[in-house]
Amino acid sequence: MDGALNAVAEHEPHAWSTRWPLNSAFIFTFGALGGMLFGFDTGIISGASPLIESDFGLTVSQTGFITSSVLIGSCAGALSIGALSDRFGRKKLLIVSAILFLLGSGLCATATGFLMMVAARIILGLAVGAASALTPAYLAELAPKERRGSLSTLFQLMITFGILLAYASNLSFLGHNLLGVRDWRWMLGSALVPAALLLIGGLVLPESPRYLVNKGDIRNAFKVLTLIRKDVDQAQVQLELDEIREVAAQDTKGGVRELFRIARPALLAAVGIMLFQQLVGINSVIYFLPQVFIKGFGFPEANAIWVSVGIGVVNFVSTIIATLIMDRFPRKKLLIVGSIVMTVSLAVLAVMNFVGDVAVLAVPTMVLIAFYIIGFAVSWGPIAWVLIGEIFPLSVRGIGSSFGSAANWLGNFIVSQFFLMLLAAFGNNVGGPFAIFGAFSLLSIPFVLHFVPETKGKSLEEIEEDMTRR
Ligand code: BGC
């Protein structure tokens, strides 16, 4: 791996990107594309898994494993990518993850049985995990400080768009065996398109200027900064470069030991934020909502899928709003408002389902879930990913994002693994699991107040100084 990556590195990796007339909209959209594959590959399986189960004659636990194998791969992918990205750069590893996306999607679409499908989903997971650790740091390192919140939120916007595309793909391919190929193969194979786009993006995108400074390549760092700061003059670009160089010069070398030694407050904040982002139960809604309505309220399957699509739209539109407001309000305030909205909606939902007549509660439950999603989408959804790109010192940013991201996948795995069991334990009353998620939403408030730093409007170098002082 080292040799291959060095060979790419020696081939003047920045020449392309600095020679091409790229504009920043292109750079940030393509830079965030990993989010779309993240959303698509995690969202697609809800529709495809029952079809795969009947086609391959699988047991329920085998199907469950096909769903969760991507999460296991993601955890491993997130953990292994950080040290590599501190060493070889964000850009090259984005290219590696695009190749893994292509390979995983191709193998999923052509899988001939259970084992091949699990292997393909683990490869996809490696790619998703890698992209989830790389992209937030890459976007944060490219963005100007006044717009960093909004530009980094593009990652979450792409995730929600990917989820929506997955639901749309499930709906449009279901029951259509085009060209004699089974519907679920089309569903899983359609991920090849965004994966190819990510690969093209990865080839033409510039390397992160902060990574370049850290490697002592000041000439190319200046070129990239000039390319992405077209609206300011060269003197200001030089000023920004000087600030980056000054802080980078004081940095120690990277690595896990350094992460635990110099970046412990950042690590605690990142891991905590990521665990809470999952333990508030978001993916019980994103992955299992049709099942909730089928099991909890006796919905027919065809209608239940539409509930998901509706929630997917609410999630996406609310995230557009998040990109617009992200740089206007302090991140901590948004997180706390989000926690309050989620706690209140989940508490009302739980009480209502425990004391009310479940037969008439489907619509009010749906409305409360929509409020909960809005609360998540304007706060914890984007901000968790924005923060892990921001709060680590440059020398350990890659590896720090890795740990944060891996915590997210671990939390996701726990919720996805136990949600349906929990629902069954409460006799299919959604009030049970949602009361637990409500309790985590409430607990997230003191966590934010005590452990999360405010990063809005500060340069990454100012944040680094703040965090080191802590
Ligand atoms: C979370 C995902 C979730 C998505 C929903 C992301 O921030 O990390 O687990 O599925 O938001 O929009």
Cα 415 to averaged position of ligand 1 atoms, centre (Å):
12
Residue ranges covered by each domain of the chain: 2-205+251-469
pTM for the predicted model, two decimal places: 0.90
Cα 260 to averaged position of ligand 1 atoms, centre (Å):
27
Of 24-33, 123-132, 263-272, the range with the lowest mean pLDDT is 24-33
DSSP code at position 395: G
Distance of CA 32 to the CA centre of its chain: 10
Nearest CA residue ID for atom 7, ligand 1: 381
Structure tokens at 212: 């370049």
Mean per-residue pLDDT for 218-239? 88
Our CA angle for 97, 99, 105, nearest 5°, is: 100
Asked whether the beta carbons of 448 and 336 are under 8 A apart, the reply is yes
Write out residues with Cβ below 6 Å of ligand 1.
Answer: 42, 156, 159-160, 163, 277, 282-283, 286, 315, 381, 385, 408, 412
Residue type, 325: I
Residues 252 and 248: their CA atoms lie apart, in Å, by 8
Mean per-residue pLDDT for 167-189? 89
Residues 281 and 440: their CA atoms lie apart, in Å, by 9
- Distances, alpha carbon 287 to alpha carbons 45, 166, 215, 291, 420, in Å: 8, 11, 41, 9, 11
Asked whether the beta carbons of 335 and 383 are under 8 A apart, the reply is yes
Pocket test for ligand 1, best of 286, 342, 419 (most atoms within 8 A of CB): 286
Cα 274 to averaged position of ligand 1 atoms, centre (Å):
10
pLDDT tens-digit profile of 364-420?
Answer: 999 999 999 999 999 999 999 999 999 998 888 889 999 999 999 999 999 988 888
The pLDDT of residue 9 is 41
Most confident segment among 91-95, 341-345, 426-430: 341-345
Pocket test for ligand 1, best of 38, 156, 289, 374 (most atoms within 8 A of CB): 156
Residues 112 and 281: their CA atoms lie apart, in Å, by 33
The pLDDT of residue 374 is 98
Distance of CA 245 to the CA centre of its chain: 29
Residues 378 and 319: their CA atoms lie apart, in Å, by 6
Nearest CA residue ID for atom 6, ligand 1: 381
Cα 159 to averaged position of ligand 1 atoms, centre (Å):
7
What atom in ligand 1 is closest to the CA of residue 412?
A: 9
The pLDDT of residue 344 is 98
Mean per-residue pLDDT for 195-199? 93
Nearest CA residue ID for atom 12, ligand 1: 160
| CB-based burial, 193-212: b 16+ in 10 Å, e otherwise | ebbebbbebbeebbbbbbbb
Mean per-residue pLDDT for 346-356? 94
Confidence of residue 465 (pLDDT cuts 50, 70, 90): confident
| CB-based burial, 314-334: b 16+ in 10 Å, e otherwise | bbbebbeebbeebbeeebbeb
Q: What is the mean pLDDT of the chain?
A: 89
pLDDT of 43 higher than 90: no
Structure tokens at 441: 């939403």
Mean per-residue pLDDT for 48-71? 87
Cα 56 to averaged position of ligand 1 atoms, centre (Å):
29
pLDDT tens-digit profile of 10-30?
Answer: 444 444 454 555 678 888 888
Crossing angle for the helix pair 301-325 and 362-377, nearest 10 degrees?
30
Sign of the CA dihedral running 230, 234, 240, 246: positive
Cα 19 to averaged position of ligand 1 atoms, centre (Å):
35
Hey, what CATH topology would domain 2-205+251-469 get?
Growth Hormone; Chain: A; (1.20.1250)
Pocket test for ligand 1, best of 38, 67, 277 (most atoms within 8 A of CB): 277
Q: Which residues contact 215 (CB under 8 A, 6 or more apart)?
A: 89
Q: Could you give the percent of the chain with pLDDT greater than 70? A: 95
